[in-house]
Amino acid sequence: MRTYRSLRLMGSETVLVPLVDVVLLLLVFVIVSTGFLGRWWMGVDVQPAAEMEDRGSKDPTVFVTAEGDIFLDGYRVDAEGLEFGMKLAAGGGRDPVAVVSVENGVSFGELARVLRMVQEAGVKRVALASSTGEEGR
């Protein structure tokens, strides 16, 4: 016959392994699901291509090479030429989107310098692109 003491010793073990497994599974679920929520609460407004207006050729295109050359709409310009072109594009009450494309090997500092020049010239909206060769020129 079993006594109270033998029953208490048999059932007194607390198994923590399943509890730890469940907690770790919930932790992984929370970490993964917050990655999806981050896109929702960041407020990125992405317009479908069908809803975007046809902007035509009035938006300036800037291309920066790895050597530091700057091209505006296919023409090589210096800093003053870029500023003049951006002011011309932003003039007359227009709100252009400057498309800035960089070649592989362009430093972040050079890109930041070009973006600052575009912003100081009055163009408030910028689209960034990257290319690996000569197609951006």
**CA–CA separation, 47 vs 52, rounded Å?**
7
pLDDT computed for residue 136 by the predictor: 47
Tens of pLDDT, residue by residue over 21-74, are 899 999 998 888 776 665 555 555 555 555 445 545 578 888 888 888 889 888
pTM above 0.75, yes or no: no
Beta strands (DSSP E) in the chain are: 61-64, 70-72, 75-77, 97-103, 125-131
Q: 52 or 17, which is more confident?
A: 17
Tens of pLDDT, residue by residue over 73-104, are 888 999 888 888 888 887 777 778 888 888 88
